[in-house]
Each structure stands twice: as C-alpha cells, then as structure tokens.
C-alpha cells in the first residue's frame, strides 16, 4: 500500500495516510475518473469499509479527498449511521483528521491559507469552495482547456460534461443562474464549474 500511496499523495503525507487506512481497516480502490465525484465511501455487505478515489486527481486533491472519505467512515462509526453525511459530526471529524496534514511539509505555502480558511467550516466538496478549487487546479499535471463559469462573459453559451448547452446569466448571491438551451429551464452553477465555451 505504501508504494501505491507514494504515487498519489505528497511524500510527507504517505506515512500518516497509511496509518489512517490501517487504523480504520479501509479497503482503498483507486479508480478511473468519474466526472461527478472525486471519491466515495461505502460500507460493503461483508462489513468492509471501501473508499474509492479518482486516479486522475493531483496529489493535494487526492489527499483531501482520501481524508474526506475516511472522515465519513470515522463519523459513522463514532456517531452512528443516522447522522447527516456532511453534517456537524462529519465536519468536526474531517477537521480533526485533516489538521495534522495542513503543514508546509505537505502542502505548498500558497495553499495553506486557503486550506486553513476552508477547514474552519468544511464543505461537502472542496470543489464548492471556488478559491480553493481554482488554487488546487494549478497543480494538475494536464491543464484543462476548459473555462470556469465565473470567467466567461454573461450571455455566453457553454457545454457541460454531459453535452448539455447552457446560456450564462447573472450571479445570484454565490452561484450563476444559467438557462439550459434545449428546455429553457434555469440551473444554478458554482463559479468554479468547469465548462466548454461555445460562443460569447
């Protein structure tokens, strides 16, 4: 397992990750990219704890995702299975498990203040924290040619991962109201949603 982790998490995080995996009897599966999620946790019928994480994530996002999913396992074990998946118990657990990793030996200095801010009240996904998500993306090996919703002009037409086309509208508090071209239905997009610009 250590040889596998060396490929996917920052070098100085390998031993701590290994300890978390062993302590919690995690069966870790590294899988091909899923567009809608970075990872997931599920308890299998045989009682085994399975965590899957996308192989395509950069080292820092992989680490955050792995600890995020282990936090689900630990929170359910400690507080019971009836808690909300991303409720207060999970947040407290995620903060506790992540704290030892938020150090300059593990993360680049430019990420540390964003991580400190994010972990005051962690979200259901690091992708919903626009600042952190954009900063983490800078460490991707292959830079995407896609744009973020917040970057493209209002009135632009863009395509999402499933091929659907939308027209960008105005910002409503934190998210952008966008109209699906085919149906005329309104959807709200996170500012850092990655899209393919068709025309502006």
Tell me, what's the pLDDT at 200?
61
Tell me, what's the pLDDT at 10?
96
Q: Does the pLDDT value for residue 142 go beyond 80? A: no
Q: Does the pLDDT value for residue 45 go beyond 70? A: yes
3 vs 192: CA distance, rounded Å: 33
* 173-196: average pLDDT: 92
Tell me, what's the pLDDT at 146?
80
Listed ranges 66-75, 77-86, 119-128, 190-199; the one with the highest mean pLDDT: 66-75
Q: What is the dihedral of CA 165, 150, 136, 131, to 10 degrees?
A: -140
**Band of residue 144 on the pLDDT scale cut at 50, 70, 90:** low
Tell me, what's the pLDDT at 32?
86
Tell me if 32 sits within 8 A of 121, measured CB to CB: no
Tell me, what's the pLDDT at 145?
75
How many C-beta atoms lie closer than 10 Å to residue 147's C-beta?
Answer: 16
Structure tokens at 167: 């027209």
Q: Name 99's Cβ contacts closer than 8 Å, sequence gap at least 6.
A: 119
For the ranges 48-57, 135-144, 159-168, 182-191, the lowest mean pLDDT is seen at 135-144
For the ranges 7-11, 47-51, 125-129, 183-187, the lowest mean pLDDT is seen at 125-129
Q: Does the pLDDT value for residue 15 go beyond 90? A: yes
3-state secondary structure 76-139: HHHHCCCCCCCCHHHHHHHHHHHHHHCCCCCCCCCCHHHHHHHCCCCCCCHHHCHHHHHHHHCC
51 vs 153: CA distance, rounded Å: 39
* 117-132: average pLDDT: 87
Strand partners, 30: 53
Task: Decide the pairing of beta strands 175-180 and 39-43.
Answer: unpaired
The proportion of the chain whose per-residue pLDDT surpasses 70, expressed as a percent, equals 98
Q: Which DSSP state fits 154?
A: T
At 139, phi and psi to the nearest 5? -100, 5
Tell which wins on pLDDT, 1 or 22. 22
Q: Which domains occur in the chain, in start order?
A: 2-137 (3.30.2010), 147-199 (2.30.30)
Tell me, what's the pLDDT at 161?
87
16 vs 100: CA distance, rounded Å: 8
Q: Does the pLDDT value for residue 114 go beyond 80? A: yes
Q: Which DSSP state fits 153?
A: P
Tell me, what's the pLDDT at 13?
97
128 vs 122: CA distance, rounded Å: 10
Note the pTM of the prediction, 2 decimals. Answer: 0.81
* 68-82: average pLDDT: 94
């Amino acid at each position: 397992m250590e040889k596998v982790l060396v490929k996917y998490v920052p070098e100085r995080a390998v031993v701590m990750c290994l300890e978390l995996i062993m302590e919690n009897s995690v069966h870790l599966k590294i899988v091909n990219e899923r567009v809608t999620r970075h990872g997931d946790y599920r308890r299998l019928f045989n009682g085994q704890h399975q965590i899957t994480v996308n192989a395509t994530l950069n080292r820092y996002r992989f680490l955050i995702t792995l600890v995020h999913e282990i936090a689900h396992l630990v929170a359910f074990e400690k507080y019971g299975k009836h808690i909300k998946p991303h409720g207060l118990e999970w947040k407290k657990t995620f903060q506790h498990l992540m704290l030892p990793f938020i150090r300059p030996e593990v993360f680049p200095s430019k990420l540390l203040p964003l991580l400190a801010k994010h972990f005051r009240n962690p979200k259901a996904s690091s992708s919903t924290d626009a600042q952190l998500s954009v900063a983490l993306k800078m460490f991707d090996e292959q830079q995407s040619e896609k744009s973020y919703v917040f970057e493209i002009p209002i009135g632009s037409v863009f395509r999402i991962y499933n091929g659907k086309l939308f027209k960008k509208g105005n910002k409503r508090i934190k998210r952008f109201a966008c109209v699906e071209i085919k149906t005329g239905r309104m959807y709200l997009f996170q500012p850092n949603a990655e899209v393919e610009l068709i025309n502006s």
